[in-house]
Structure 1
Amino acid sequence: MKKRLFSTIALVCGAFLICLAIAADLTGKWTGSIKTPNGDFPVKYTFKVDGEALTGTADSDQGSIPITDGKISGNNFVFNLNFNGTPLKNVGKFYGDSITIDVNFQGTNLHGMLKRVEEKK
């Protein structure tokens, strides 16, 4: 009985630590593009994870927009951007060194793929 209890506790703790490691790995700089009807729109994101909170910025040639209401759960995350007064809900999934982001912009579903920017050492 004690062996089974110990095994269960170890599995739960291990799963929790894996989730924390995945969340921490999203922190950093990412670059890629969002596919639009007018072609690819290049973007850069800087993410910072603190527990389940996600903050940072979305950067493009048009400027920088702060990420608001960001949340992360495992390898899934959501956040909002205020683009010229229009709130944009972003839904993403983390895959290690790449992420996908889906956003609905004025009724059009847009999809993006980003890669982690390698930090120079």
Structure 2
Amino acid sequence: MKKLVGMFAAFLIIAAFTSVNSGIDGTWIGKMDSPNGPVEITYNFNVDEDTLTGTVEGGMGEIEILNGQVDGNEFSFDTQFNGATISHECVLEDDDKIVMEFTFEGQGGPGPSGPQELILTRASE
């Protein structure tokens, strides 16, 4: 009986971890101000266990997500644009909201040097 209870508990933990990760999957939209007015950015996230892949689309085209890692409802990834690496730290707060903090690193990249926050909402399908 103890063995059955232990197996059931392990199953619940794995199921909870998988459901949180799969909540990140999908298309998310963020809107931010730019010198040229508001810009919409689309994030396409794919989670496979603890690895995040996907793309980011905006006014300058589509770029690939690099170094994506998932740990429960928190995840991180990098992108590269105009010679700069942009580091992203994210938290899935609920099924329809991700809070993202991103930082530009390196030379030649646009934007301020300090962290910026962006709220993402799940795209309507």
TM-score under structure 2 length normalisation? 0.81
Per-residue CA deviations over 1:60-101 (Å, capped at 9, x if unaligned) read: 111111001101111010000001111111010112111111
Give RMSD over aligned pairs: 2.2
Q: Residue 86 of structure 1 aligns to which amino acid in structure 2? A: A
**Could you tell me which of 106, 111, 114 is aligned with 1:108?**
114
Counterpart among 81, 86, 89 of residue 88 in structure 1: 86
Cα 1:38–1:9 shift into 2, 3 Å: farther
- Matched positions, count: 117
Residue in 2 that maps onto 1:22: 20
> Residues 38, 105 of structure 1: CA spacing in aligned structure 2 closer, same or farther, 3 A cutoff?
farther
Greater relative CO, 1 or 2 (CA 8 Å, sep 6+): 1
What are the ranges of 5 or more consecutive residues in structure 2 without an aligned counterpart?
A: 106-112
| 2:43 match: secondary structure | strand
Segments of structure 1 that go 5 or more residues without pairing to the other structure are none
- 1:16 is displaced (CA, Å) by 1.3
Q: Percent identity?
A: 27
Is the CA contact (8 Å cut-off) linking 1:35 and 1:110 kept in structure 2? no
